[in-house]
A and B are shown apart, each in its own frame.
Chain A
């Protein structure tokens, strides 16, 4: 089977910190992959290496068979990326942002106009074309970022916490779009801290302290394996196992309200 992403012993060090520690995994085409893990576990760092933003310290990454370092150009043509922090131009309008990325990906005028129309409709941005991106609220911003990441019809879409700080309705709208895209054959790699979102992924993987805890597997399988009720419990039991402390009991030791001796 051909893979969308293949990662072998991928490692990133920032000075003394090993943000990503010899990670290996393979992701087949056309599915949604949830990448879970606590803050600072190395999700963004892994993703940024795959997208060519960071150079790996060691190890290999391949996207559709192209090496992310040596063949970065080919990787970039096939990849749409939404970074954790909103990174479009806030002083440009919705339409100007789309025009800009269309130009950067070398779309012809005709193709550009058609895609823009399509994406504005898909991302529910109708009526906001002339608004400055900076004046949009959270949910709208995220959908604009998604539209920009899709303007060149990438085969792989990488989303780093796309729904952080977004209200439940916008979250639902956003994920409906993700599922539509997936049905059209786009491979999606997404990180999130929302377990309801994670549960709707085809496969999920846990990362902790820069290491992958399990193989990518469907959420139901993981829940069964861990003998718990839901993904949130999986998350917590993994963190407890890895740190050797009980998450719930660690708060009992706090004595803020008791008088000091």
Chain B
């Protein structure tokens, strides 16, 4: 008797069957179209983390031409509206207690003298942290404003002194603000959403497809045939690679053509890494299917995976802002690395060199997940 390790006819027979089932299933085919549309518009518009016109108070102890110039930069930015000029820190804290202002700028008395002595003046911004989103915007934008301002000052200085820029201390800008200087939240959210959608579609459809055979008992009839687990797994998964990747391309097009977030970097690299991420999500879906006996159970296990992937991956809250113990959880999710990659390529335009750590992490995760999923799946067929 002829024994092949892999029988292509059986493999293609399964792919064909799976495609017919997908075609007849009203959900499988609609998800990759409906989910990107709903999620992109929901998150792209409704969840707007953009904040402008933060009511602020100023405590100017310097009261000089230079300090007024500095304050002007703040008002010009649109992020801050100076509602009060106060004359003591106590007054400022009262305003903040009452919620009249969300930010307070304190300029030291030594501001202009420090500048003239080429020292860096220590201004202070006090932020009401009860609303973290406002606080984050306030912090980021104030940092940008000050740094751009000090850079300008330095350039004036350079012209005066006739020296080169290298001899002066470098200016380090907060990167998130730098790459998205208008702090448009959709620019930040939408590419991340492409990653989240790709993940959710693939996990869901894969887990459902695999659990369905168990739930309906069709797996029993399959086990008595000479089919090999590897043919079954690969044959069943290939249609969902297509669908998951289709959903990725579709949501990426919405991101580019509707939201106008054009990729700054290499789109080919993004398309290749997107494929890698489909495979890693697929493995997660497979793994979930080994823990569930029916689609309802699969759905519940899925929530355990999908919820943290939205909350802990840096999709909404930056990883840096999370408590250490929680951000560690984020780093065991493949989506965290893919979000870095897609934002890096879409917004920063960085290439392979800069993303190499994320890429390595994603590759390792994919290999790891795929192996344990295959092992567990083989066992569960027993």
Contacts and interface: CB of A to CB of B under 8 A. Distances in A.
A, B bound: yes
Contacts of B130: none
B217 A83 contact: yes
A146 interface: no
A48 B20 CA distance: 29
B216 A96 contact: no
Interface string B1-42: 101000101101110110011001100000000000000000
B221 interface: yes
A23 interface: no
A51 B223 CA distance: 9
Given A104-B225, A106-B7, A106-B9, A87 B1 contact: no
A193 interface: no
A52 B224 contact: yes
A55 B217 CA distance: 18
Given A74-B1, A77-B1, A106-B9, A92 B20 contact: yes
B382 interface: yes
Given A89-B17, A90-B216, A92-B17, A81 B12 contact: no
Contact of A52 (B21, B24, B219, B223): B223
B25 A91 contact: yes
A87 B21 contact: no
Interface string A89-107: 1111000100111011110
Please tell me the size bucket of the interface on A.
20 to 34
Interface string A164-183: 00000000000000000000
Interface in A52-101: 52-53, 55, 73-74, 76-77, 79, 81, 83, 85-92, 96, 99-101
A91 B224 contact: no
A83 B225 CA distance: 13
Given A87-B216, A92-B21, A104-B10, A76 B224 contact: yes
Interface of B: 1, 3, 7, 9-10, 12-14, 16-17, 20-21, 24-25, 216-227, 382
The 6 closest A-B pairs by CB, nearest first: A103-B13, A87-B221, A81-B224, A87-B217, A76-B226, A51-B224
Given A83-B221, A87-B219, A101-B225, 12 more contacts: A51-B224, A53-B223, A53-B224, A73-B1, A76-B226, A85-B220, A87-B216, A100-B16, A100-B17, A104-B14, A104-B225, A105-B225
